[in-house]
Structure 1
Amino acid sequence: MKKNRLKRELLRWGMLLAFPALMSSCLMEYPEMTADGELGVDPTSVTVKAKILIDLKSLAAQKTGRLARAEDEEAAYSHRIVVAAYEDRQLVQQEVIYEDLSASSRLQTEVRLRLHARRYQLVVWADYVQEGEEPFYDIDGPEGLASIIGREGYTGNTEYKDAFYSSKEIDLTGYKDEWNAEFPLEVTPERPLARYELTATDVMAFLREYPEVTQVRLTLKYDDYLPKGFNALDGITKHAFKYLQYSRTVSLPKDGATSLPLMFDYVFADSEGNTSVPVTLLVEDADKGTLLASSSFRLSCTQGENKDIQFDFLTTSPEDGVGFNPGFDGNQEVELPVE
């Protein structure tokens, strides 16, 4: 009896001592879904330290050196920087930080993500947001930065539509089973946008024809589909809409100026290729609403470039049109002949 009791005690204590090892073995060989929806228990924690460097010099400032700023310098704008990690094209983690508007032509900041030792696509998005106002770009959909879309309605004539993005693969598998590992990297986002500006070269001719007009109402209509969104994961445009437009009222100069900047906008373009859309510019008497001029042409923009499109926009009759030279070589200033 004593011998059997001793055997039972030894067996019981042996099982208790072996229990943790058995449980560990089970977890290693038969992983289960955790509360976070991940497979198994991964003790690895790698801190990705993304140092983000952005050249803020506006596309319009390529010659003048000035920064991108909206018309209202008092507006409370901030930089919004978003860093997201995608695994197998699924958003697994995202961090958003805000920085005060930079007074220089360069923004530098750091964003940290804690990730497991796996392979990810790290996507960065930076734009401008105004306190108390809806951002120009909505990033809050289920796909995050893979499906950015412009806010409802359409806005032009503001430098604060400018934005930057980056998408790069990172491999953290070499940090498996390490605790408190760090993975530093430097990211230099680029613009997913092109900028264009329309400049009238016929101010004097317009004033001779319409000496009583002091202001004109300008409307730029996109006559076909224009992308309002961007997939920063793949670097391609998304969410194309038809018949978008924006307007502004401009005062005519009385100081003898021969040219006049009219309108400008930022439009999304693919990382490989460009955005091409037919447009119509309407010029109306701001007081009477009568149509004074109309120009129809095809707008073709390449990501990261600025186009200063110069033409007699104020005196072109509605039946005339202007078009791009098919041999356009990417020069910053473009003079458009009448078709």
Structure 2
Amino acid sequence: MAVLVTGGAGYIGSHMVLALCDAGEEVVVLDSLVTGFDWAVDGRAQFVAGDAGDMALVGRLIAAHGIDAILHFAGSIVVPESVSDPLKYYANNTATSRNLIAAAVAGGVRHFIFSSTAAVYGMTGLEPVEEDAPLNPMSPYGRSKLMTEMMLADVAAAHPLRYGVLRYFNVAGADPGRRAGQSTPMATHLIKVGVQTALGQRAGMEIFGTDYPTPDGTCVRDYIHVSDLVAAHGLLLEHLRAGGESVTLNCGYGRGYSVREVLAGVEDVAGVALPVVEAPRRAGDPPSIVARADRVRELLGWRPAHADLKTIVRSAYEWERHLATRNR
């Protein structure tokens, strides 16, 4: 009995692989390395270079390793890019997921966990959003993820497959032991950009939009530490293996921070002032997305261990310093 992790050489996937290996699971990682790094994959896992949408390859891995669960992290994630290149997102996210689910069904895989996003909600207002809120994504990225959620529901109704969907809010931070972190050189995550700027790796940074209907005019997001996020995945896998029903859950802390608040947190941790330029809004960015995350706590017994903005920022900052040393 083994777990297949797609996108396991990427940011969140590599942390998931660490957690699974720490738990004694047999782990197979499938990653195309378009944005991931083979060195980020824990040595206890078996790494296979390939596309998650390659049904023949996935089928061989399922048969060879007795895969009973698939955790699907592979995909494209940049909202503005999805607006300018939507077909890339429907190919990398929706079409790839379709093929992966088909291979899972054909191979008799019983458990499937999907990395979804709060972007499926679209405009939510300033109040925390619940899982049964209307779904109205504002970007092709959000729509591509929602389509996969819909496919999973339809497939589970027709085949003996149970699934779990976790709708992520804004994932940040790094493994406390500095074994993994966000390693993409020019990633667009706010905290990543902020700590790189603080370390002089970027000449400056931009705040996109200062006229939103939020307390300080900048976007508000619910930031969740990556280690807490993967802990929720582990609990969800236990739930499904124990016979639990398919479920869709928010994964956030229920507390929003504005762009300005986050950057103030980076300045506090780094002890420097950030060179910041105000810029126009980006396409596809809603003013605020904050989780109502009671269900994941109640159903899975999830208890976050890093639910503090300064903790998240500090771990990201320490990882960036480590990464700079590693890349010399």
TM surpasses 0.5: no
Larger Rg: 1
Looking at secondary structure, tell me which structure has more helix per residue: 2
Which has the bigger relative contact order, CA under 8 A and spacing at least 6? Answer: 2
Range class of TM-score, shorter chain: under 0.3
